[in-house]
Structure 1
């Protein structure tokens, strides 16, 4: 089929590559170059770079306005395919291709309509994740479904890993739907079930609440890793958690920090979270115990009290050092 593909992040690349092997991609629509890194160097989107590697023409547009619509309409596509483009497709562009547009979405719709479905599903502790391909309509992720598929994931998968798995599985599902559209066998049915929304994450979404059970704390950690990042405060200083998992250890009070030889333990409402790598504000990621030794060094001068032989120092003066404080 003659396709126009719209996408921006790396998660859209598996579908682009799969479709480029099977169909004629008339153009790839993606967001404009964006400043990245400390030096804010203008950098093409991952999809733009992949399209260049595939030798495909690229249309860079911050939004699908009249100009972008005209350029796409001139190509006379049979179908539009969108995967995490980052902008809305409105009329008349929505009806420009003969078969309209289909969208690969990284949730089991109608669950988690919106920009961050994988992250929100992980934070909520959903027992399964999946992908959906639906007919694009003006309302947010509300079109009729061509296909859905549950995707098994490891219990420790974070948002980045989960999205990569879903992106590859979703590429195959999208190709199957397009084959059905091409031969006239594809059927789309209305979405059924409870609707939930998945707005874009903010920095505040990464703040861990140590008064919750460890399962809830770990679910949020997975959902916000690597972006916007799980974080807490220790003695008023922000600390990002890079690598963590539930610990098989005796309970600590919520937010209380204890050190073993290999990791830090932070108390929750149930059992502790084990933290192995952290990133202090303004510094590079480091081993959690190395950070802890450096953090405690000033407090240990003449006033530190030793904890048990198993956990090491957990107090500075008479005050327990806690995360979230």
Structure 2
């Protein structure tokens, strides 16, 4: 077991004597847990229960659960916060709840239980992109900047007063996968900065402007289907936003067979077809592009598929796909299937 590295009292914040309960579930929350475990007394870690995973569908502890076990921390995995779970949390007598992507609704009474309340590390600059999928939605919308907000929790969904924000640029090459990792580490450092401020009373709480709120609704697989009647930039944003999960996709037809093709990366086709070539033909397959991938017409140009994943196969470059599979006859749109 790997315990958090011990730090001298000179290096630790004055708030280190706080009793924290950490609540988080996926790998996004792991950096925050590790950073806080180095400085604070984490009396318990709460995460969602183990779920079936893999080909054998074996019950597998969540990422935060696994990290907490490595740190030799007490772990609790309630399915919901009924009275028994609430009573157990009360007996821990935490000074502060720290929540990062937990995934369970916490009753309002529970938020008021700790002396300092409950704080949440959220992967957006609130009130923009409240809700379940802020990273996906920021990239899909073409945002140039995002960040993290540390806020006090209240009964609403990501509606509490903000303690601090930390901003980060979204690179043109960022996907949800790469931005996820950047924001996970930024959340960890932001929480480590916010907790001492909250403990010594220096935190300035800024209410959110609820009129400016935009919600990042859960991602569905159906919305990840590419629509080539849209503009090139919008299509490329969707590919980046849904990479690696759930993956943008399209249905292709080859002879009498149709299959799903996931699109993990794409780029603007370097040699754009002329308007006369593609007039009225958004979604037409135009051949191979500069890197050897499939080129598809959009509403205002064309894209080249640079990384794809055929159904039941590993991901591969666009070039390798066309080296191993025939060029599809055409794309089957949602309208074609209706």
How far off is 1:322 after superposition? 3.5
How far off is 1:228 after superposition? 1.0
Residue of structure 2 in register with 1:308 after alignment: none
Following the alignment from structure 1 to structure 2, what is the Cα–Cα distance between the partners of residues 322 and 272?
14
Do the aligned partners of 1:205 and 1:224 also contact (CA within 8 Å) in 2? no
Residue of structure 2 in register with 1:273 after alignment: 303
Following the alignment from structure 1 to structure 2, what is the Cα–Cα distance between the partners of residues 158 and 57?
34
Following the alignment from structure 1 to structure 2, what is the Cα–Cα distance between the partners of residues 226 and 9?
15
Residue of structure 1 in register with 2:241 after alignment: 223
Residue of structure 1 in register with 2:7 after alignment: none
Secondary structure in 2 aligned to 1:74? helix
Residue of structure 2 in register with 1:195 after alignment: 213
Following the alignment from structure 1 to structure 2, what is the Cα–Cα distance between the partners of residues 195 and 249?
40
Q: 1:232 aligns with which of 225, 250, 265?
A: 250
1:244 aligns with 2:261: no
Secondary structure in 2 aligned to 1:142? coil
How far off is 1:22 after superposition? 1.3
Secondary structure in 1 aligned to 2:222? helix
Residue of structure 2 in register with 1:299 after alignment: none
Residue of structure 2 in register with 1:176 after alignment: 193
Do the aligned partners of 1:266 and 1:323 also contact (CA within 8 Å) in 2? no
Residue of structure 2 in register with 1:205 after alignment: 223
Following the alignment from structure 2 to structure 1, what is the Cα–Cα distance between the partners of residues 322 and 292?
11
Secondary structure in 1 aligned to 2:30? helix
Residue of structure 2 in register with 1:74 after alignment: 91
How far off is 1:224 after superposition? 0.9
Summarize the Cα distance change of 1:228–1:208 in structure 2 as closer, same or farther, 3 Å threshold: same
Residue of structure 2 in register with 1:303 after alignment: none
Q: Report the RMSD for the aligned CA atoms in angstroms.
A: 1.7
| Mean CA deviation greater in 145-154 or 221-230 | 145-154
Q: 2:315 aligns with which of 285, 298, 323?
A: 285
Runs of 4+ in structure 1 off by over 4 angstroms are: none
Q: 2:284 aligns with which of 256, 279, 290?
A: 256
How far off is 1:92 after superposition? 2.2
Following the alignment from structure 1 to structure 2, what is the Cα–Cα distance between the partners of residues 72 and 246?
53
Following the alignment from structure 1 to structure 2, what is the Cα–Cα distance between the partners of residues 118 and 10?
14
1:102 aligns with 2:116: no
1:28 aligns with 2:45: yes
How many residues are paired up?
A: 304
Following the alignment from structure 1 to structure 2, what is the Cα–Cα distance between the partners of residues 51 and 280?
36
Q: Deviations over 1:242-281 (max 9, x none)?
A: 2222232213542122214622212111222221221122
How far off is 1:10 after superposition? 0.5
| Mean CA deviation greater in 257-266 or 121-130 | 257-266
Secondary structure in 1 aligned to 2:301? coil
How far off is 1:293 after superposition? 4.8
Secondary structure in 2 aligned to 1:197? strand
Q: 1:38 aligns with which of 50, 55, 58?
A: 55
How far off is 1:291 after superposition? 3.0
Do the aligned partners of 2:116 and 2:199 also contact (CA within 8 Å) in 1? no
Following the alignment from structure 2 to structure 1, what is the Cα–Cα distance between the partners of residues 108 and 121?
19
How far off is 1:156 after superposition? 1.1
Following the alignment from structure 2 to structure 1, what is the Cα–Cα distance between the partners of residues 83 and 121?
24
Secondary structure in 1 aligned to 2:199? helix
Residue of structure 2 in register with 1:153 after alignment: 170
Secondary structure in 2 aligned to 1:178? helix
How far off is 1:295 after superposition? 4.0
Q: TM-score, normalised by structure 1?
A: 0.89
1:49 aligns with 2:49: no
Secondary structure in 1 aligned to 2:309? strand
Q: TM-score, normalised by structure 2?
A: 0.86
How far off is 1:69 after superposition? 1.3
